[in-house]
Amino acid sequence: MFWYNLNAMSLKRILISLLVAFISGFTVVSFLNFFHRGRAGFFSLLGALPVPVYVVAFLIFTGSYLLEALRLVYLVWHKGYKISFWGALYNTMIGYLFSFLTPFAMGGQPFQVVHLSRLGVDSGYATGIMGTRVLENSLGGAVIAVIMLNTSLGWLLKRGHMVILGIFISISVSTAIFLAMLKPGILIPIVRVISKLFKLSNLEESFKEWRERFESSIKYMWRDNAYLMFLDATEWFSALVLQIYSLYYILHFLSKMNLNFWMVFGSVNAVNALAYFIPTPGAAGGIEFTYQFVLSGIVGNSEVALKSVTAWRFVSYYGQILLGMLVLGFFKFPKVEGNR
């Protein structure tokens, strides 16, 4: 039965998260449409794009999963663990699914760690991989935002404060993640509080054992094999380019303008940290608002920007959730392998 495998998160919670995300996105899009005196309703905005364009944009975005899977396979194999490409692809797709369904889009990484540990990868090393990726996302966003400050884009003169705020959030989050990864011992007081609150007597001892494996994995990736981080960052950038290109493809089709892709790429990434700061499933609402705000300055037409963002969210969010649910529903989640 299709729904039998959906045991990692109950169907009820998935539907609730979807409902919250849809309401958040629908509310923001409707508000922006009203504010800009748009005449089209939410579903009319979606209908502005032909089906073939939706399909191509969806395939472009989904193609980034292949690059993400290659990143994972290489890092895992380099350490001596063997997982199939399908296992890495499954990990990537379901990781995105859980990120889309959780506040701040941060629920995917814990799931990916659990999945990798069930495939036989040490949980300390798996956490090191996922923690490094979160740091790359946050720090990479900050670097892109700083680069955008040195451009002469017209929209930056009026919307520069959004970029500044995005940089501040990105650097703050990156610093916190970096310190936690470099010195995980600073988390022990938090672990003790959790242990007392939930009466988990062995939690602190288990954390200290895990910390040794985690610190070893960070040393392995960051110091002993630093080139791994360069390769991983390169593949992260390539996957990000594909994801943003799916938005550019839609924007280019609707605006009929010869837009500079790197202008769109940099502008969107400059405000990503701000967009994902919204505590809704998958940052729904926050992305619609910030992306529309920025893109309207680039194309000079708020209605085209709103149509583009609405169509892209259908492709990159709701469509990806459906794909992830199909994968999670039809392919069984692996059982525990050993004591990891």
**Read out DSSP for 180-247?**
HHH-GGGGHHHHHHHHHHTT-TTHHHHHHHHHHHHHHHHIIIIIITHHHHHHHHHHHHHHHHHHHHHH
Question: Please, which pLDDT band fits residue 333 given cuts at 50, 70 and 90?
Answer: low
pLDDT of residue 189: 80
Output the average pLDDT for the chain.
Answer: 77
Residues 132-141 have a mean pLDDT of 81
Burial class (CB in 10 A: 0-12, 13-18, 19+), 59: exposed
In percent, the amount of the chain with pLDDT more than 70 equals 72
Which range among 10-14, 146-150, 237-241 has the greatest average pLDDT?
Answer: 237-241
* pTM of the predicted structure, to 2 decimals: 0.81
- Of residues 38 and 94, more confidence is placed in 94
Helices within the chain (DSSP H only): 11-35, 42-46, 51-78, 85-100, 108-118, 123-149, 154-182, 188-197, 203-218, 226-255, 261-270, 272-275, 286-299, 302-313, 319-330
Cβ atoms within 10 Å of 79's Cβ, excluding its own? 18
Give the pLDDT score at 158.
Answer: 52
The CA distance from 92 to 111, in Å, is 10
pLDDT band at 45 (very low <50, low <70, confident <90, very high): low
- Mean pLDDT lowest for which of 14-23, 75-84, 197-206, 226-235? 14-23
For 64-76, b/e burial (b = at least 16 CB within 10 A) is bbebbbbbbbebb
> What pLDDT does 324 receive?
87
Answer yes or no: are the C-beta atoms of 272 and 141 closer than 8 Å. yes
The pLDDT of residue 27 is above 70: no
Residue 8 pLDDT: 45
pLDDT at 160: 55
**pLDDT band, very low/low/confident/very high, at 89 (cuts 50, 70, 90):** very high
pLDDT tier for residue 154 given thresholds of 50, 70 and 90: very low
Q: At residue 326, does pLDDT exceed 60?
A: yes
Residue 1: predicted pLDDT: 39
pLDDT at 275 over 80: no
- Confirm if 23 and 318 have CB atoms less than 8 A apart: no
Q: What are phi and psi of 150, to 5 degrees?
A: -95, 5
pLDDT band at 161 (very low <50, low <70, confident <90, very high): low
Q: How confident is the model at residue 152 (pLDDT cuts 50, 70, 90)?
A: very low
